[in-house]
């Protein structure tokens, strides 16, 4: 699983997860409007659950030149072959189920966006070893993260701001974009001046995939 990359300059990779989307309002307009207005490149991980209920929003995301769409699984399951839970969410129970979780969503997203995702982050970003290998055999890269920018959507505004403003080059940062009542937008907005002062630039995962640090 990849959680960091070797930076060439003062680069951060911003990733935004869209996890659960049965509620049509599971979309943080303010966050995505901010990253578009500030021209921040980012990689957006989308589940099948979210994509099916947000076709208009997914189309908009796909049209943004600085964003790329990645795979967050069909049903937001931890990537396991034995059903083990991670953070209270039960994982896939077999290799066949894990493959379906990965590939069904890759097929769905390819159909909806016109390109097949290259990066896969499972629900909770948990992978067992067999499952991580299966992701690679399916042609995708198993992605974790190194900075929980919003603490799994649990941080307040000051917490998000601090996590982002202090992130080090080479970090893969995660925010959540399906919780508009949380503080990803406010925290990012407040952290931007500090990040700019630190000469931080943002990159998409596809721009740095030859510099991933394998653990």
Interface with Zn ion (CB under 5 A): 17, 19
**Six token digits for residue 133:** 């290998």
Q: Nearest approach, Cβ of 22 to Zn ion (angstroms)?
A: 14
| Cβ(79)–Cβ(91) below 8 Å | yes
Nearer to Zn ion, 19 or 102 (CB): 19
Q: Nearest approach, Cβ of 6 to Zn ion (angstroms)?
A: 26
| Cβ(100)–Cβ(82) below 8 Å | no
Q: Nearest approach, Cβ of 39 to Zn ion (angstroms)?
A: 25
Cα distances (angstroms) measured from residue 212 to each of 19, 68, 119, 170, 215: 24, 17, 12, 9, 9
Q: Nearest approach, Cβ of 121 to Zn ion (angstroms)?
A: 7
Nearer to Zn ion, 5 or 45 (CB): 45
Residues ≥6 apart with Cβ < 8 Å to 26: 18, 20, 50, 53, 54, 178, 179, 180
Nearer to Zn ion, 19 or 35 (CB): 19
Residue nearest to Zn ion (CB): 19
Nearer to Zn ion, 125 or 200 (CB): 125
């Amino acid at each position: 699983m990849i959680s960091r990359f070797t930076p060439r300059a003062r680069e951060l990779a911003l990733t935004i997860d869209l996890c659960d989307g049965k509620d049509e309002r599971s979309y943080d307009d303010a966050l995505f409007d901010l990253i578009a207005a500030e021209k921040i490149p980012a990689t957006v991980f989308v589940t099948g659950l979210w994509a099916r209920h947000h076709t208009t929003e997914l189309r908009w995301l796909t049209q943004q030149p600085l964003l790329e769409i990645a795979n967050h699984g069909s049903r937001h399951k931890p990537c396991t072959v034995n059903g083990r839970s991670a953070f209270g969410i039960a994982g896939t129970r077999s290799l066949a189920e894990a493959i379906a979780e990965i590939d069904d969503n890759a097929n769905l997203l390819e159909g909806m966006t016109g390109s097949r995702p290259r990066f896969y982050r499972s629900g909770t970003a948990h992978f067992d070893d067999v499952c991580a290998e299966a992701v690679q055999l399916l042609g995708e890269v198993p992605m974790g993260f190194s900075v929980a920018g919003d603490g799994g959507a649990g941080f307040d505004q000051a917490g998000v701001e601090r996590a982002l403003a202090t992130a080090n080059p080479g970090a893969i940062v995660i925010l959540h974009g399906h919780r508009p009542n949380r503080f990803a937008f406010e925290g990012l907005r407040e952290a931007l001046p500090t990040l700019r002062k630190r000469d931080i630039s943002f990159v998409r995962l596809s721009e740095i995939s030859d510099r991933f640090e394998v653990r």
